[in-house]
Structure 1
């Protein structure tokens, strides 16, 4: 697809005080900038473009179609599927007729979907394709509130005869018929909407229990998006590739709120497997990727160097050293760019980036420094769903890899009950402050007090630059039985900088010393094993190989060298499977559910601290399609620092 790159460098922000809902702002943009391209979707290798006029046309048809199907003001419309233009059109259409919207993660299991649908009282749900429809139909009478199921992809749908089903095409026909019958209905419904109406129900991360639903109003949400844009400006025509799931609050900010205000272009990739190739084709101006994605890119770069010649490996090491030194001095090295980073940025589609962000979970400083050395203008964000997403960010001339930056102009934060080191609970507020948790006043009163959100996160303000430093969840900060205080997340992030580590869980709360359970990064370790002529059959078998244990031992020892002696990892084992959201071990945004881990792997944890060298495992795992597999293996416990060595004694004293 031949296209001109955006030449605009001056932001143009819409008046969110006047246009205080998504449908009002869309109608304004369609009138004033109807021919501007605002979305692209790749399908069958071709990028299809949509203008503001197309956007408005689709939303109008969707909204009136839903109205014709009996969906009215006060109802809730669900959205289930991958990131697609239809999702965005469906969400804005729901708001146009006074309904609320709730995004459901596409890989959600049936039980989770049933909980969210019935809890929110969803009456209509927009699905991507047959896979998502199957998920709903299998729930049967567990979702009695659902009256309408709209599917966008008709392939495979002819065999169904459920009366709730309707195709997107037929929904639009119903909308067109109602528009002809009542030509002023859509505009009247949009005008009835107020920025103070609850428009979005957004799931919280749910690290300790089932997710709560934060009630967000479109007016405060848009004002907060504008506050974000003032801190990190975007220009009309800037390109963004939508990668993170749309139910997540930050993707709502970027794809819907900021897009309507700043008129940038949202690009939807063809498939999850083609993400990096599609991203390179677009060459976006700004990106938002989760820490795990940045970590996997960094791991892939280092893994590719394993396949390179000795000369290229030396050049990479040299260039990276020069690049890191230059980044630390807040400059770019033209020489490192020439020999290494220019080609590297081009390979991943980062050549035109003016802004890059990460959020949703903590990122280790080593990963952050890696990308700054590479010339990627990466910034860390911090926020919560309840505050409409991020409200702190690094500014262009004020980057610190150990922090998450400073608050937006119209946002604020403070540290409550700090200890002698200044560490306490982070309390924040923003213009996008949620109204409360849906049907959960008790939780609302616990978290929202006097206009502030009590986040449950531990952190402190860096006195030298005023930046916020986030350490961990308050409840996750732990002490060993010897009184050594540590942050599991901090050490886990250090481990995950290794190309060979996909996930790690640090143990040690109320126990004599720290240990780790580690998941290998299959794509990298399997390649490494093939190069070393190590035979293996699957993930479980590979993770049990002695050579793999030796490889990971080196990685853990490297991390130990950067930690105080009392906080060093003394033992570790390699898990027989990857941690999985479907098993409840991670949230949908890939945060560790420590309570689930402690319960599910209690036998393995007990064996580590009982001094055993090996653990026999005989268990069954269930895949997303319902099939099961039996796993029989022996986990080896690797001892790095015996508890009776000098460092171990120091930790126990």
Structure 2
């Protein structure tokens, strides 16, 4: 692990974001004031390559002038497609420098998704990472007529292409250098023309119910909001952050682009997704932002590793966890649990130097949250929306509550719209980074943005004891059974996902007699468990159908049921034959369940559960990311945990 001096004892002298109100202006100030400060690292071929503010400025200048030389004018849009890399950030800031907007496209977006975003935003140029992303664009053909230039940063495999739109990053920089030599003052003039109120970022919303909308974010309000965030959760120059979450996501935009230019911390880009945890351990970051699914995966991996360890280590883990959680309930840390267990775990995952760890984008189960606090990870939950420039509530260091998402930033606000008798209503928020509106969608803008407030569509309430915001679920997802039992699917799903054997879960029961669940096993861990037990299997579908796996998951669901009111307990469940996948439209790119898609796609499975059948036959075809298809023929067993009361069959209840 890299050894570096940590300095958290002073308040940094941040730049004036009122004066430097665009990303290029703030970058130019930093490059002039701190030219040799290391602010980025990228791991390539096992070596961490470092970049200073001077390097950052030089690349942005060449990119910006290169785009300008290619005829990319002010007011158009430049797309960014690929993994988290320095080139991605340089391209985004370069777009803003010449008055263009930037649009991040998720690396794993399918061609249809990419085409929709490109045509909606009228993208004129796209900066790609490599051959894979170029192929995706070229296959779209005339579906993206606005694209005039496709720049690729990795030249490997590109010699065979002759599309006139293609240009290497090296050629882009060469054109930029030539224009700079002809007009040495052009870049500064372009940057000076930028204003804080200009729309600089088109950021995609999660799109849980339909195609994503494009939120128009202005650089001045965005930077002001990032500064407000830093006052609530401080970072200092020299602090390390490992960029893991996709750059098109609003929170990664906040951490990697906005906050970095203000706080002058170091952004570290991992070599590959497969090396993420090893690279994170090498860096030993000061702060991290990970999605709930990543924290859940880490917790599950820890439990899985214990399955492979010796009997003594398993006993130490069980004992250390027990006394650690007991100490946490008393509001303290156990030095004995730390010495026996948690200190080694923090070191194993690169968490030894953390001063702040956050999670957002989806709800996290309290059990997972408490586990990491017992482990000594200073985890905080935050809450926000793309439209409000990301998070605007967070736990403060001395005010943590596993059931809440904390309190608003100093210059943000939250209220509950039309609360019921229990104080539950729609969450309405505002922040300094409030979006201007949805690009070319005034109807949706008027529906969500009213009187300076963002109507989030989330249900929640303000805790009367500590003033924290409690998020329950999406308003539209709060449901009642046909017998009047109210429940939150998300709340129960998060409890299920605390199990190391559960990767995803969908709770059923809206307008139906009782609650049931469809569960996806966590392949990496259940397969290891099955190998240890000597259970033969061939693939995911075959493994999920094994009787022993059903028995295993039955015990996990039973444990969750013991924590729920009797009326909200899961009566039946089945194990799905495949994982839920964003490519199939079942999840958003930020891993939120699209319930309408699930209800339509798995209607036969849902009907079988509520028609009191003990199994459902499946004969379907799935398409893999590379375009290949496979036919799946299997029989899903419907497992009954609790005998449901006699009620109408599924179709009758739904009607």
Same fold (TM over 0.5): yes
Correspondence 1:81-92 to 2 at 5 A: 81-92=82-93
Matches within 5 A, 1:464-503: 464-503=465-504
CA distance, structure 1, for counterparts of residue 645 and residue 25 of structure 2: 68
Structure 2 residue aligned with 1:365: 366
Give CA deviations for 1:369-426 in whole Å, capped at 9, x if unaligned.
Answer: 0000000000000000000000000000000000000000000000011111111000
Q: Which runs of 4+ in 1 moved over 4 A?
A: none
For structure 1, which segment, 328-337 or 401-410, has the greater mean C-alpha deviation from structure 2 after superposition? 328-337
The Cα shift of 1:644 comes to: 3.2
Asked if the contact 1:72–1:99 (Cα under 8 Å) also holds between the matched residues in 2, the reply is yes
Contact 1:9–1:235, Cα closer than 8 Å, also in 2: no
Distance apart, 1:196 and its partner CA: 0.2
1:100 Cα offset (Å)? 0.1
- Do the aligned residues in 1 keep the contact of 2:369 with 2:402 (CA within 8 Å)? yes
Residue in 2 aligned with 1:575?
576
Shift of 1:645: 8.8
Match of 1:185 in 2: 186
Aligned equivalents of 2:489, 2:50: Cα separation in 1:
45
Task: Give the TM-score taking structure 1 as reference length.
Answer: 0.98
Kindly indicate whether the alpha-carbon contact (under 8 Å) linking 2:7 and 2:236 is maintained by their aligned counterparts in 1. no
Cα distance in 1 for partners of 2:359, 2:443 equals 32
Query: Are the equivalent residues in 2 in contact too, given 1:391–1:430 (CA < 8 A)?
Result: yes
In the alignment, what sits opposite 1:649? Answer: none
Measure how far apart 1:481 and its partner are: 0.1
In structure 2, do the counterparts of structure 1 residues 564 and 3 end up closer, same or farther at CA, with 3 Å as the change threshold?
Answer: closer
Please give the per-residue CA displacement for 1:348-370, whole angstroms capped at 9, x wherever unaligned: 00000000000000000000000
Q: Which residue of structure 2 aligns with residue 55 of structure 1?
A: 56
Q: Could you tell me which residue of structure 2 aligns to residue 518 of structure 1?
A: 519
Correspondence for 2:11: 11
Matched, 1:535 2:536: yes
- Kept after mapping to 2: 8 A contact 1:11/1:236: no
Q: Which 5+ residue runs of structure 2 have no aligned equivalent?
A: 648-652
Task: Determine if contact 2:622/2:630 at 8 Å carries over to the other structure.
Answer: yes
Separation of aligned partners in 2, 1:108 and 1:377: 33
What are the within-5 Å matches in structure 2 for residues 32-71 of structure 1? 32-71=33-72
Shift of 1:108: 0.3
Looking at structure 1, the residues matched to 201 and 173 of structure 2 have their Cα atoms a distance apart, in angstroms, of 23
- For 2:355, the equivalent position in structure 1 comes to 354
Secondary structure of the residue that 1:566 maps to in structure 2?
Answer: helix
Query: Shift of the alpha carbon at 1:31?
Result: 0.3
User: For residue 125 of structure 2, what is the aligned residue in structure 1?
Assistant: 124
1:288 paired residue number: 289
In the TM superposition, what is the alpha-carbon distance from 1:6 to its structure 2 partner? 3.5
Instruction: Give the superposition deviation at 1:328.
Output: 2.8
Deviation at 1:2? 6.2
User: Which runs of structure 2 are paired with 1:283-432 in the superposition (5 Å)?
Assistant: 283-432=284-433
* 1:310 CA drift (Å): 2.1
1:113 counterpart = 2:114: yes
Q: Distance in 2 between matches of 1:329 and 1:193?
A: 53
Q: In the aligned structure 1, how far is the partner of 2:290 from the partner of 2:9? A: 23
Give the Cα–Cα distance (whole angstroms) in 2 for the partners of residues 571 and 112 of structure 1.
Answer: 35
Does the aligned pair in 1 maintain the 2:413–2:431 contact within 8 Å?
Answer: yes
* Whole-angstrom distance in 1 between the partners of 2:344 and 2:613: 49
Q: Structure 1: which 5+ residue stretches go unaligned?
A: 647-651
Which residue of structure 2 lines up, in the alignment, with residue 642 of structure 1?
Answer: 643
Q: For 1:109 and 1:449, how far apart are their aligned partners in 2?
A: 34
Could you tell me how far apart the structure 2 residues matched to 1:187 and 1:255 are? 24
- Aligned partner of 1:621 in structure 2 is 622
CA distance in 2, matches of 1:346, 1:593: 37
CA distance in 2, matches of 1:479, 1:293: 31
What's the counterpart of residue 150 of structure 1?
Answer: 151
CA distance, structure 2, for counterparts of residue 75 and residue 582 of structure 1? 29
Native 8 Å contact 1:11 1:262 kept in 2? no
Q: How far did 1:159 drift?
A: 0.3
> What is the CA–CA distance in structure 2 between the aligned matches of 1:309 and 1:627, rounded to whole Å?
42
2:452 aligns to what?
451
Shift of 1:313: 1.4
Whether contact under 8 Å (1:199, 1:218) holds in the other structure is: yes
| Aligned equivalents of 1:311, 1:345: Cα separation in 2 | 20
Distance (Å, rounded) in 2 between the aligned partners of 1:583 and 1:18: 46
Deviations 1:523-547 (A, max 9, x none): 0000000000000000000000000
State the Cα distance separating 1:335 from its structure 2 match: 1.1
In the alignment, what sits opposite 1:166?
167
Deviations 1:52-90 (A, max 9, x none): 000000000000000000101001000000000000000
3-state SS in 2 of match to 1:236: coil
3-state DSSP of counterpart to 1:295: helix
Q: Give the conservation status (yes or no) of the 8 Å contact 1:8–1:236.
A: no
Distance in 2 (CA, whole Å) between partners of 1:75 and 1:459 is: 39
Aligned ranges for residues 224-263 of structure 1 at < 5 Å? 224-263=225-264
Kept in 1, the 8 Å contact 2:2–2:284? The answer is no
Residue 604 of structure 1: aligned partner: 605
Cα distance in 2, alignment partners of residues 4 and 410 from structure 1: 33
C-alpha distance in 2, partners of 1:464/1:608?
Answer: 41
> Shift of the alpha carbon at 1:7?
3.4
Cα deviations by residue, 1:170-224 (Å, 9 ceiling, x for unpaired)? 0000000000000000000000000000000000000000000000000000000
SS at 2:604's partner residue?
A: helix
Structure 1 residues 101-137: Cα deviation after superposition (integer angstroms, max 9, x where no partner): 0000000000000000000000000000000000000
Number of residue-to-residue matches in the alignment? 647
CA distance, structure 2, for counterparts of residue 111 and residue 645 of structure 1:
45
Distance 1:486 1:520 in 2: 23
Structure 1 residue 609: Cα displacement: 0.4
- Residue equivalent to 2:273: 272
In structure 1, the residue matched to 2:650 is none
1:317 Cα offset (Å):
1.4
Q: How far 1:306 sits from its partner (Å)? A: 1.0
2:592 match: secondary structure: coil
CA drift at 1:8 = 5.2
| 1:18-37 superposed matches below 5 A | 18-37=19-38
Say which SS state the counterpart of residue 266 (structure 1) adopts: strand
